[in-house]
Amino acid sequence: MTGRGNGSPAPSEDSLSCGRCGRPFPAPELDRLLWCDECVATARATARKAGWLAGTGLAAAFALWIALVQQPSRLVMGGWVGAVLATWWLGGRIGRELCFGVLRFRGRPR
């Protein structure tokens, strides 16, 4: 017998449904928010793409501000390039974690 008509087995008494996809899993296979490993991996992949996109946009805006407002001399250009790269990396990391947190909070498939 199947559970929801999707070919997955019917949940037993010692299994729980994934909070995102709804498939039944044994309780130890789910994380603390009741997500299966596949759903966590999918959310992380989505968050990774969105995070690096956010980091790239932030770094581009910062580079544009540097070029138009600061107008640095060639003498200190290396420092500005380093600042833009740091903005890209940190913006990507922060964006990825924020996006992953939002996906986990919403708990719905995309």
> What tens digit of pLDDT does each residue of 52-84 get?
999 999 999 999 999 999 998 888 889 999 999
Q: How many Cα atoms sit within 13 Å of 91 on the Cβ side?
A: 18
Please check whether residue 107 is in contact with residue 33, taking contact to mean a CB–CB distance below 8 angstroms.
Answer: yes
Give the span between the Cα atoms of 18 and 34, in whole angstroms.
5
Instruction: With cut-offs at 50, 70 and 90, classify the pLDDT of residue 1.
Output: very low
* Model pTM score: 0.74
Joined together, the tokens standing for residue 107 give 């708990």
Report which DSSP code applies to 28: G
% the chain with pLDDT above 70: 85
What is the pLDDT averaged over residues 21-25?
A: 92
Please check whether residue 80 is in contact with residue 65, taking contact to mean a CB–CB distance below 8 angstroms.
Answer: no
- Position 85 scores a pLDDT of 97
